[in-house]
Amino acid sequence: MTELIGLFFSAMVSASILPGTSEAVLIYLISTGTTAIWVLVVVATVGNVAGSIINWILGLYVERFGDRKWFPVSPDKLDKAQRWFSRYGVYALLFSWVPLFGDALTLFAGVMKTKLLTFIILVAIGKGARYIVIAYTTSAIAR
């Protein structure tokens, strides 16, 4: 059970702006063979989506700090990102699994006030598919 909690938190942190290694944790746990692969994939996906929801919530409030000197994104870059997200739409969230780029997508989904249910569905599809590919590849190599 502790390995599942560790995987969940590793996946959640990996979805944030903090560095994480959920893929390595997933691969390791698959290699031990102590837990069903589908359970590991579900736990990793739920944890990663939970981290993305944190980004989405941060995105809801990030604009109010845009005029502060310490804010890491210039108003021009924030505006450019909003235009990009508007252009490609919510389906870009299917690529939320892409390192660094995906974290920014989930944050800007909050800035753009994407509906939470739509957000969760699209992010879960993208991130779940990534973990399925990793799990399948890992189990195929291990055979």
pLDDT tens, 89-109? Answer: 899 999 998 887 888 889 889
Number of domains in the chain: 1
Q: How far is CA 95 from CA 8, 9, 65, 70, 130, in A?
A: 20, 21, 27, 29, 10
pLDDT at 126 > cutoff 90: yes
Per 3-state DSSP, the chain is made up of helix, strand and coil in percentages (nearest 5) of 80, 0, 20
pLDDT tens, 33-42? Answer: 899 999 999 9
59: domain range? 2-142
